[in-house]
Amino acid sequence: MRPSLVLWATLVTACAPVEAPDDDPSVIDREEEGEGVAFDERHPGADLGPGKADLPRTYDIPEDLPQLERPEIIVSLEGLTVHLFDRTTGWSAVYPTGVGKRGSTGRSWTPTGFYRTADEGNTPWYHIARRYAPDYFGGFPFLRLNVPNSKGYHTYGLHGPITYRCREGADDCALVDREWFLVRDFVSHGCMRMESSGIVDLFWSVRDHDAVPVAIIEEVEHDALGEPIDVDSEHALWAEGESISYGSCGERPDPYLRGDRWAAQACRFD
């Protein structure tokens, strides 16, 4: 039986990501080596929030965001997409992303599986509206997931683009003088990088929702009619209450039918 069609959604996307050649000497990317965000594992007590009052505001909180009722997120590693949608309201947006580099097995460092956006209690550690530490996060939002690394720390999340240029080829510059751009590729240490406008919209769309389900899959995501999903395509949403096939991670029921929505569970491959 084919899944029912809820809506052909016009995608809400930011401007196309700017890509820079690897040998461009003006490109700056100082993210530390490690699983997810190495800084968080090494500095568990660090202040990741607003910090000093005089730090620059690198974005304005959007005022025209949709009122979501049951938001869900699907990240596709091969498709390099972050898909935020709500089957109840029919709203949907697909954003470009840069994910974890490929390891020796050929798979991305970004873990696949079924996760969510917050721990019990929705602490500030998981929802950071303006992250300045380290400064390569640019003062943009950081949305942490309950994805454990090899030591059990929750260091993975969705955040801003990391990569930037300074005017006139300077080695470094103030946050407000940086030209931020997303490299849509296998480039991170496990987190999912997004354009600054994309992470701002996504963060403030789900900020007040506890435990938003996030599925990270290896394959290109397909819609309810079996068509591939990308940032410039139209797609059909699944009906509320229907199961979704998450590629090689398998089929799962509507996460809002589960009380845990979800407890962290990695996909297992032979």
| pLDDT tens track for 8-41 | 343 333 334 445 545 677 889 999 999 999 999 8
N-to-C CA span, the chain: 29
Average pLDDT over the chain reads 88
168: DSSP letter: G
The per-residue pLDDT for range 1-15, each reduced to its tens digit, is: 334 344 434 333 333
Residue ranges per structural domain of the chain: 1-270
The pLDDT, as a whole number, for residue 14 is 36
Q: If you average pLDDT over residues 221-242, what whole number do you get?
A: 96
Distance CA 264, CA 249 (A): 13
Residues 1-270, CATH architecture: Beta Barrel (2.40)
Q: If you average pLDDT over residues 251-256, what whole number do you get?
A: 96
Query: 109: Cβ–Cβ under 8 A, 6 or more apart, which residues?
Result: 35, 100, 101, 102, 103, 188, 189, 190
The per-residue pLDDT for range 41-88, each reduced to its tens digit, is: 888 778 787 666 678 899 999 999 999 999 999 999 999 999 999 999
**pLDDT band at residue 189 using 50, 70 and 90 as cut-offs:** very high
pLDDT surpassing 50 at residue 196:
yes
Q: If you average pLDDT over residues 171-199, what whole number do you get?
A: 95
The pLDDT, as a whole number, for residue 16 is 40
The pLDDT, as a whole number, for residue 48 is 81
Contact 105, 26 (CB under 8 A): no
Q: If you average pLDDT over residues 164-184, what whole number do you get?
A: 92
Q: If you average pLDDT over residues 244-254, what whole number do you get?
A: 96
The pLDDT, as a whole number, for residue 269 is 65
Do you find a cis peptide bond into 262, omega within 30 degrees of 0? Answer: yes
What is the CB-side half-sphere exposure of residue 257 using CA atoms within 13 A? 10
